[in-house]
Structure 1
């Protein structure tokens, strides 16, 4: 076919979504955005792109979360269109493309379109963008929605459609619509084929500290073999799909099934396989071929249709990125799959007829799984995303219409990494270096290693190492060098794919003639990418060694790498058990590094300074050379006056003012000043702990100098220090406003107990014998009459009888009860019926008479 229009009737034959084409077309007559929700396998990925292409002159771009899905969707549509792949329908994924000048529909991964937007923000020649499988909440898909919403503010003709089988349609519609009106929703319901649910919980745990247990994999393989044999007797044409969390588990389950039965063609499907093998699995089996058991990762959960499947066996496990904020690490973690993901998986069995799902958990465990998967934006490393947004001109995504905002902590970590790379400035804007790094299709840290490492170790080695670090290749014994040697001589699909990636990256570098470095340059390339993961061995045991990373994280290493002093670590993950050596993390990928190589790679982390500490009342100073948290050398030195003062300040902020020996006089003055500040505010000083620590130089400067010079803490006069804070001329009224003592009617001068400096509600207290206050009607008030004194009226033996700040009311009421209880106990002391007519005294009746 050569005409612009696609034959939708032919393409949609047998597809359930064909019934919704007219509704979607009518929706697009009134709106340039829409949300399409339809069950898996109904044909929306096949029909919507040619529908849009037939309504426009320009190109339609369709994003998929995975490369295999983009290729498969393009091949399927080209086949139905009857055109060679790459002419009217094509695809572009990392490292592979089939495109032509007259192409109308192009399937791409979200990452490809993101980087294309940096070069062409207006998407010239593109009339529509379809974002498929939005429900997976991949980070790149979320970013695309935000950027395309901004593009559409300048291009009101650009059509944007979000599609999924299970999504919060209203929420997505609000984001891709306008401020005034959400995008319309086309919800196509299709009667589902019956699904039979069965439960096959494992007697052994699914997970332990190392990940998925071997016993659980045995159980999944046995369950699959048994269910598949049962299915084949009832329906010989049916295939089986088994969901596992990762490529390792896929291979182990497949190997066990092959060992249990030869009745099936056992295939694997995961992202580490070469494209040709992935495509062969997706195309299905031909007539007469053996029934298939396909063991897959979440790759086949959505966006792919594997034909012929009638039975799904689900481990109910998923593997995804999870950020460890405390250690600044992001790694893949195996957890329970969300219920919505399990529903998607089960739906693979009912795409073409009634099906069965066998879940390898019990119903209670399934019910406690999260309802939906955690969006990648909430759990992933955001470095690449932050650089892309900075290059777009919206640092941190401020102002973009995103489904969820970028997490503040993860974004701050990403800014730190990018700033250290020189990719952004202090305001978060992209630098010329950052824009150059963003155009290299890999993580910014790996892009930096490729650019800066090539002139030192040679373009080929730098490209090989970066290709390995950016791949899914497992590193044996965590040794990148040995893995690289194996790949160089390998003939496996994994090695061929790595070699292709290395060739592509090498073409992106500037040749460095005459520069060549073999395996000894690997560590430098890794250190250029991850300088904060430069690590030094701390201790070694028979099980391995513990390394301290420049970031401050400790990680366990086993195997040959445990014997070296310095490592450049590419991958470190949370873990426990023997391999972690008690550190809480293990190294999964690293190379030997020399100290000389470390210095240029981690130059911004290297410090050489005197560290002084105030410990036990004395200054202790050492000259320390460090790489981040790693101590390279330390020697005792004499601290300068400035270093000593800084050490005392740090100690005060760390330990608080309690490290001083406060005299009673100093405590009393501080409490008096605290009451004045509480009641009158400025200019009376804030003498709380926080206030005094902020104003150290205003009241304690001479004492700081004395401590720095060796004066013991006990010899400090804090009363004099506090008096430096007194405001003049207001300080002349100190004793009038908050006197130290209060004269009572007996003539005694009783000390006033002022409240603690950090207590905002307490009152000044006078504790005095009751007899010394006879006839006292007016309760004294301090601070210009603002604060009444609280009296603790005592017995002759000094025990409390009453607490009051209203003496008049006390004499008129409660005193009678006190008199009745006390006069028999203390007969030698006056207890008059009329306290108003009796002279106050601090003596017994006899002595008072004399």
Structure 2
């Protein structure tokens, strides 16, 4: 097979040889090098392929279609023969397909459904630098398959802008780099005027580019909304209105034929202005572009705690993306790039991985289905976000004890966020399921109403009216059209033939949403009709102009989290009878015992709850001893250990254990720090509270028995032996040793009681010297030392000289080594 010449062409033999010798490869090549279309075709006849398929992952649907179509044309075939593609809701593959271009969710499903990947010889990850979560997961799963089941599987990671050296180290793979075909590009920052919108600035830059430069103009804008605004602003321009210049849009939601139009030269040879999102940043080729105008913005997923989803937000692009966009102007000849941000603005060097900044419920469900958390991620998922995701999946019924349920497997197969999957699967077939498809499309989309408001029902009514050609004036018709199309796709996916209803019962939407947002079901506060207690234990507040005022039960699909109460931004009413019918296990009546901080005592109540929402509270009878013990233990967790009755001797015993744990770790003593004791409080303290109803009922001896009971008798004996409370000094008297964790033990003793003792006393089998506080006969400190011998030799003569006159009744011998130790004054007459 003869392929056209691209910059990547000269590297193809080395790529083929590398994959013969090693199952993994990192390939770096800039946009325009031809890696997306030439590498898969170059591998078709390799012996290791053996007639099997090569899967190439493309992060965007536009790029997947375009890459598959271009490769098919090179082979003189339509897409779906040797080269095909599969994207969400669309597939063009056949039994003859050898190269299959897929989008990210498709690859994950393929690996989950067939971990052996039978019939697949290689997986190519294109544009890996975009660092989408699904690509990171796909690579982690592929590496696990390769390590455990398929050592012959080839994995190729391709990127235009990435830290290839770091990735090659991570994969233990060779790294190859290709030069791109490019001409010089002059880059300038196009200044904005005061109070000028981004779209007006973009229009001015386009006008200047048309006047000063030749060729087509490619304009990078954040999203569809900005594209539509700029398109409307360009329509009155004489060159555009006359048809001399044609304006085209390029984004992922366009019909295929419209996308193809933007990717081909104009059939009449006219200049083109292509208004594109970052789908045009890589993977697709736009012929004839000589000028790039870059807004410096892109829509990327960010976790939105208000909705519980990752939402697309306009964010500043990385420096790598800016360089890649500018390079589009230098594909065919010398080019120009206008940047619509100040030259002083500094961009992040690389795009951040999605895994570090999006909600992870879908990832947690995939990991549960795979049956292992021990996957190798380029950047591991944050533990806190992963734990929160698993808690949500438990509520949705997708996980049970960390294991995926039958419902969870069905949710996974739908290929959408677990919240929406749970809702879609809960709806019975027919009109209700068609309504659920409408809701899924509405929740995933941007707000179609200009007027705002918090009623989800208003959005659905606008959608129903749009279908009958009478959309309300405050609605965006283009957004409603996109929502309608998405709902149709969902009905097709679920094989639901029933049409969506024209009307819905008052609680119809909310009842369905309870399956997507079980944690956001709210019950009206009895004293404040605008406040709601939520099933997750938090509180939420309605806006003053709410359309939901007076509803006893609601479910919130969108919340704005504030310091105190969350604000309900989108919600629907719920029928309590429906909740009792659908979620009977979540309505609980039980006796509870809680600590009342004000009374500093326990309060026993009979509570009726829905999850964490308290619906009714009544006084209970006798306090159950077990519940009381648990409540008092919880109170100590809240108040801290200082709430307990500590005697000085117990405090010292605790310090002795803490010191020995540090000095002699081989003993295996427990952690008696505040943190350690509070962490294990249920184990050592709770039994002591059984039969008690107040904190102060636990006396000093009870607390001592509870804490000492954490050590067996022999270990308590060892503590007394290794860290004694008292020591006998040469005077024959016993003196106390003071302990404090992190400091040496202290022996305070009068100097005269140590006459004749040469070496500093030690404890803990001789490992730890005591710190001696040598006292005057009046009990004042004269010296602090751990070197008693040095004190007698060097310091004692000076101390004796100063103290002898002040304490003449006490002995100050010339030779302390041979003097008799004593705690008394000299006998009379001596």
- TM-score (norm: length of structure 1): 0.79
Taking structure 1 as reference, are residues 371 and 463 closer, same or farther at Cα in structure 2, changes over 3 Å only? same
For the pair 1:350 / 2:330, whether they are aligned, the reply is yes
Q: What does residue 631 of structure 2 align with?
A: 647
Partners of 1:344 and 1:722 lie apart in 2 by 65
Q: What does residue 472 of structure 2 align with?
A: none
Deviation track 1:685-720 (CA, whole Å, cap 9, x = no partner) reads 986656766786898678524642675467866567
Q: What does residue 661 of structure 1 align with?
A: 645
Partners of 2:286 and 2:8 lie apart in 1 by 18
Deviation track 1:710-739 (CA, whole Å, cap 9, x = no partner) reads 754678665676676786589899999877
Partners of 1:358 and 1:514 lie apart in 2 by 49
Taking structure 1 as reference, are residues 798 and 281 closer, same or farther at Cα in structure 2, changes over 3 Å only? same
Taking structure 1 as reference, are residues 746 and 552 closer, same or farther at Cα in structure 2, changes over 3 Å only? same
Query: Unaligned regions of 5+ residues in structure 2, if any?
Result: 468-476
Q: Which residue of 66, 89, 93 maps to 1:95?
A: 89
Q: What does residue 59 of structure 2 align with?
A: 65
Deviation track 1:722-763 (CA, whole Å, cap 9, x = no partner) reads 67678658989999987766676778x57514213xx15421
Q: CA deviation at 1:632?
A: 3.6
SS state at 1:560 partner = coil
Q: Which residue of 531, 541, 546 maps to 1:560?
A: 546
Alignment of 1:9-20 (within 5 A): 9=3, 12=4, 15-17=6-8
Alignment of 1:410-429 (within 5 A): 410-424=385-399, 426=401, 428=403
Q: CA deviation at 1:666?
A: 4.5
Q: CA deviation at 1:198?
A: 0.9
Partners of 1:157 and 1:835 lie apart in 2 by 84
CA contact (8 A) 2:125 2:135 kept: yes
Q: CA deviation at 1:273?
A: 4.0
Q: What does residue 745 of structure 2 align with?
A: 763
Partners of 2:828 and 2:51 lie apart in 1 by 115
Q: CA deviation at 1:684?
A: 9.3
CA contact (8 A) 2:593 2:602 kept: no
Q: What does residue 471 of structure 2 align with?
A: none
Q: What does residue 241 of structure 1 align with?
A: 219
Partners of 2:38 and 2:189 lie apart in 1 by 36
Q: Which residue of 195, 201, 205 maps to 2:185?
A: 195
- TM-score (norm: length of structure 2): 0.81
SS state at 1:395 partner = coil
SS state at 2:634 partner = helix
Deviation track 1:361-396 (CA, whole Å, cap 9, x = no partner) reads 334423xx22211122333333333434444x4433
Q: CA deviation at 1:192?
A: 1.8
Q: What does residue 357 of structure 2 align with?
A: 379
For the pair 1:335 / 2:315, whether they are aligned, the reply is yes
Q: Which residue of 298, 316, 319 maps to 2:278?
A: 298
For the pair 1:112 / 2:89, whether they are aligned, the reply is no
SS state at 1:817 partner = helix
Partners of 1:771 and 1:703 lie apart in 2 by 46
Partners of 2:92 and 2:722 lie apart in 1 by 88
Partners of 2:617 and 2:497 lie apart in 1 by 39
SS state at 1:239 partner = strand
Q: What does residue 160 of structure 2 align with?
A: 165
CA contact (8 A) 1:274 1:494 kept: no
For the pair 1:361 / 2:341, whether they are aligned, the reply is yes
Q: Which residue of 142, 145, 157 maps to 2:139?
A: 145
Q: What does residue 287 of structure 1 align with?
A: 268
Q: What does residue 39 of structure 1 align with?
A: 30
Q: CA deviation at 1:446?
A: 1.9
CA contact (8 A) 2:556 2:570 kept: yes
Q: What does residue 620 of structure 1 align with?
A: 603
SS state at 1:458 partner = helix
Partners of 1:59 and 1:731 lie apart in 2 by 69
CA contact (8 A) 1:572 1:585 kept: yes
Alignment of 1:474-493 (within 5 A): 474=448, 476-490=452-466, 492=477
CA contact (8 A) 2:122 2:155 kept: yes
Bigger Cα displacement from structure 2, 403-412 vs 668-677: 668-677
CA contact (8 A) 2:593 2:628 kept: no
Partners of 1:722 and 1:54 lie apart in 2 by 74
Q: CA deviation at 1:196?
A: 0.9
Report how many aligned residue pairs link the two structures: 803
CA contact (8 A) 2:359 2:389 kept: yes
Q: CA deviation at 1:674?
A: 6.6
Partners of 2:101 and 2:761 lie apart in 1 by 86
Bigger Cα displacement from structure 2, 718-727 vs 62-71: 718-727
SS state at 1:569 partner = strand
SS state at 1:189 partner = coil
